[in-house]
A = this chain, B = another copy of it.
Amino acid sequence: MTDSSRDLRPILRPRSVAVIGASNRRGTIGAEIVRNLVVHGFCGPVYPVHPTERAIQAVRAWPDVRDIPDPVDLAVIAVRQDQVLPVARACAEKGVGGIVVITAGFKEVGGQGAAEERELTELCRAHGIALVGPNCLGVVSTDPDTRLDATFAPTFPPAGGVAVASQSGALGVAMLDYARELNIGVSDFVSMGNKADVSGNDLLQWWADDPRTRVVLLYLESFGNPERFVQLAQRVTRDKPIVAVKAGRSQKGLQAASSHTGSLAGADVAVQALVDDTGLIRVDTVEELFDMAAFLAHQPVPRGRRVAVLTNAGGPGILATDAAEAFGLDVPDLGDELQAALAAYLPAAASTRNPVDMIASATPAQFRACAELLLASDEIDALVALFVPPIVTDPAEVGQAIASAAAGSGKPVISCFMGRHGVPEGLSTLQAAHIPSYAFPESAVRVLARAARYGEHLRRPPGRAVTPPGMDLDAARAVVDAAPDGWLSPDGCQALLSAVGIPVAAGRVARTAGEAAELARAMGFPVVLKLVSDTLTHKSDVGGVKVDLRHEGDVFAAWESIAGALASRGLAEHMQGALVQPMVRGGVETLVGLTRDPSYGPLVAFGLGGVQVELMQDVGFRLAPLTDRSAAELVRGIRGFPLLDGYRGSPPADVTAIEALLLRVSALAVACPRVAELDLNPVKVLAAGRGVVAVDARVRIAAP
């Protein structure tokens, strides 16, 4: 893994730091950075650079970075915008290894700023300098041999195993605060700013190889190189969980994100496809990011979805149980033997079913005994311990009891000590034992549910590249190469799809009603008649599709009806003829599509046909190339999947064949970049073993 990774040691493990734009005026950025470096005990020398001052905050200062008599690993630049480039050139001359540019006013303001950012990046790359920023908060490392706080944030986080990267400086400030408040130990923190050089991918690679880092947290507004991110994240998540907030998921938020970062942001559907491919744990808010980190930093990933809820109060137990079901966990009834064992420790009014309600009189000893029984049982995979301090029980002792039961159990334990007055005493014992505690049962349960899904991801084998048989990609390329930009002709569609082994309902175009009737008789009734028009793409919206035509009279009537509907809208001349197809009886109607996202690349879509896709939004997307695993997950991910799986006594549909079809579309997308869009709608999925058939197909050709 290391061969392709950037050397970020000058940024995150520097042995000396220069602060250019250092200041004696407290409250300025240049002053706060020097202060943070000194106060938080940077392990090497700090060299303030200031044009005139001889000392900055009592540290010997130099007028220019080139004047510093010793080598400089890292230069932190916080000068005026128009001074950044000259200063960076001086750094290059000096031979610094890394630069962090705090100063704003570059790509995010466009125009001249963007041009200057390009120049800055080129300069750094030419000299082999790693560049973080510009327009950022700075970087932190709690590495004991480094202890670097090169930020102007007011908080230095506790040391630990959680690496944090933020594309927003403001949220970076908040994150360092939360880490301190929740006592979540941080390994490194990087405010990435405009990501002119060092990217999220570079950091991911660095943390993958960093022995101190156990969890990676990301706040992202865009992915610079999504393809590389997917490859990297797929590998990293097998070892270390990655938790991310991807902001800009709404149309309007996207707008704000682009104006904010000046980067091309992707639609949320592509982001979700990327997440689904990688095992990344996606959360919605910064709060949930840290909720997750508190768990993953020390607790094992659950081996299943079965949760025991242990509580000394009914209400919170119900809330936790409601939340568990809402988030997809099970709260199973416990077996008789286990219930009897629990009951032996509890009063008659307690409930041992699950949630296990020990009632308000529960003692620390009861907490411990019940938690031990539950954790030892093979009926559950994780324990949620809830505690509302009644007046007579000491929260610290309860915390200790839970911690003792958890120790060495190998199963995750998570807790919620409700109400302010129980928290401080209880929390300290829990924190010492690394048992995460949340203010509300719902937060605890949500964390556990996400961890359980991550565990399932880990247990499934990684996807493998699969090429279905009977694909002639050269023939497909030939069809595409020969076609002009625009919608592919019906014959072209047929040729392209058969080249890649996608079965399409046979069909021939008739120019007159008589010709249609003749074709229908030749192919056998019933048939379907479909408008052929270069200009009208949504045929059914203009009454252009007639199904189940059982004899010639039906065909003539259908032709009249299509022509009449167009004529009444003044569209008569748009009818070039009609396609006659044998009607495919039975099967489940689905939709298969291909679209290309400008940042994320080709996306394969799958959903149920008709109104389900449009109104119910029951459609999923995955990034091409698909693997056997992602194809299988795409098919099984829609709400309507039971329809394909033997719904209400109907025979199971040919799921293998639809998976293969998705892989064919994926391979086509990769082989032929000019296939901009493809719509197979409907695709009929027949009974198991009988295959699939695309009844209607549209393909748009365009320059990639």
Contact = CB atoms under 8 A, between A and B. Distances in A.
Interface of A: 27-29, 32, 104-105, 108-109, 152, 154-155, 166-171, 173-174, 177-178, 180-181, 219, 221, 245, 247-253, 255-257, 259-261, 284-287, 312-319, 321-322, 324-326, 331, 348-349, 351, 353, 355, 357, 359-360, 388-392, 418-421, 439-440, 442, 538, 540-542, 548, 550, 608, 611-612, 615-616, 618, 639-640, 642-643, 647-649
A481 B665 CA distance: 62
A174 B418 contact: yes
B331 A252 contact: yes
Contacts of A32: 391
A180 B255 CA distance: 40
A135 to B, nearest CB: 10
The 7 closest A-B pairs by CB, nearest first: A168-B315, A170-B313, A250-B325, A260-B314, A170-B388, A253-B322, A174-B419
A9 to B, nearest CB: 28
Nearest to A351: B259
A426 to B, nearest CB: 13
B250 A174 contact: no
Nearest to A166: B315
Nearest to A258: B318
Contacts of A608: 611
A348 B109 contact: yes
A357 B168 CA distance: 13
A251 to B, nearest CB: 7
Nearest to A152: B391
Given A326-B250, A349-B105, A648-B541, A256 B321 contact: yes
A316 to B, nearest CB: 6
Given A108-B349, A284-B442, A322 B250 contact: yes
A318 B615 contact: no
A19 to B, nearest CB: 15
Which of A32, A315, A442, A643 has most B Cβ within 10 Å?
A315
A313 B168 contact: yes
B177 A421 contact: yes
Contacts of A249: 322, 326
Contacts of A181: 420
A643 B614 CA distance: 11
Contacts of A252: 321, 324-325, 331
B171 A388 contact: yes
Contact of A259 (B248, B255, B353): B353
A21 to B, nearest CB: 14
Nearest to A154: B421
A24 to B, nearest CB: 15
Taking each of A32, A166, A247, which has the highest tally of chain B beta carbons within 10 Å of its own beta carbon? Answer: A247
A109 B348 CA distance: 8
A319 B152 contact: no
A173 B109 CA distance: 52
- Which among A27, A180, A349, A391 has the highest number of chain B CB atoms within 10 Å? A391
B315 A170 contact: yes
Nearest to A616: B616
Contacts of A419: 173-174, 177-178
Nearest to A439: B287
A193 to B, nearest CB: 11
B319 A420 contact: no
B389 A173 contact: yes
B388 A173 contact: yes
Given A219-B315, A251-B325, A421 B287 contact: no
A286 B286 CA distance: 20
Contact of A167 (B315, B322, B359, B421): B315
A390 B171 CA distance: 11
A245 to B, nearest CB: 8
A555 to B, nearest CB: 14
A176 B296 CA distance: 32
Contacts of A540: 648
A313 to B, nearest CB: 3
Given A171-B388, A173-B390, A611-B643, 10 more contacts: A168-B315, A170-B360, A170-B390, A178-B420, A247-B319, A250-B326, A287-B442, A612-B616, A615-B642, A616-B639
Contact of A170 (B219, B285, B314): B314
A419 B259 CA distance: 24
A442 B256 contact: no
Nearest to A314: B260
Contacts of A326: 249-250
30 contacts: A104-B349, A152-B391, A154-B421, A168-B314, A168-B315, A170-B313, A170-B316, A170-B418, A171-B418, A173-B388, A173-B418, A173-B419, A178-B420, A180-B420, A248-B318, A249-B322, A252-B331, A253-B322, A256-B321, A256-B357, A257-B318, A259-B353, A259-B357, A260-B317, A260-B351, A287-B440, A611-B647, A612-B612, A615-B643, A616-B618
